[in-house]
Amino acid sequence: MAEAVFHPPRRKRRVFESYEAPFPVDVGGKDFRLCQAEIINNNVIVRNPEDIEQLYNKGYFGKGILSRSRPLFSISDPQLVAKWRGINTNMPIITSQKYQRRLQWARSVLQEQGLDECSISSILQSYTEPLGPPLCRGHGAQRSGDSCKGGPEPGDAELSRRCAGSEGAPSPEGSSQEGGDAALGPGTGSRQQEQEDSREVAEGSCHRDPPVLGGCEGKQSPELRAGESLDCRECAPEYVLVQEEEEGSSCPEDDSTDAQENLVKKEVLVCRKNPFRIFEYLQLSLEEAFFLVYALGCLSIYYGEEPLSILKLWEVFSEVKPDFKTTYMAYHYFRGKGWVPKVGLKYGTDLLLYRKGPPFYHASYSVIAELVDDNFEGSLRRPLSWMSLSGLNRTTANASKELMLCYLIRPSDMTAEEMSSPECMKRIKVQELIVTRWVSSRERSEQDEF
Contact in structure between 435 and 384 (CB atoms under 8 Å): no
Residue 442 vs residues 77, 396, 401: alpha-carbon distances, Å: 52, 19, 19
- By 3-state DSSP, what share of the chain in percent is helix, strand and coil, each rounded to 5? 35, 20, 45
The residue from 302, 354, 361, 365 that is catalytic is 354
The residue from 98, 321, 356, 362 that is catalytic is 362
Residue 151 vs residues 64, 156, 384: alpha-carbon distances, Å: 34, 10, 66
DSSP state of 135: B
> Catalytic site residue 401?
yes
Instruction: Supply φ then ψ for residue 405, to 5 degrees.
Output: -100, 120
Give the whole-angstrom CA distance, residue 87 versus residue 135. Answer: 8
Give me the amino acid identity at 140.
Answer: G
Contacting residues for 328 by C-beta, under 8 A, at least 6 apart: 286, 287, 290, 291, 317, 422
Of 29, 25, 70, nearest to 52 (Cα)? 70
Give counts: helices (H), strands (E), the chain: 16, 16
Contact in structure between 274 and 239 (CB atoms under 8 Å): yes
**C-alpha neighbours within 13 Å on the C-beta side of residue 95:** 7
> Catalytic site residue 294?
no
Parallel, antiparallel or unpaired: strands 299-303 and 306-307? antiparallel
> Catalytic site residue 347?
no
Of 246, 196, 258, 205, nearest to 225 (Cα)? 196
Active site positions, annotated:
354, 362, 401
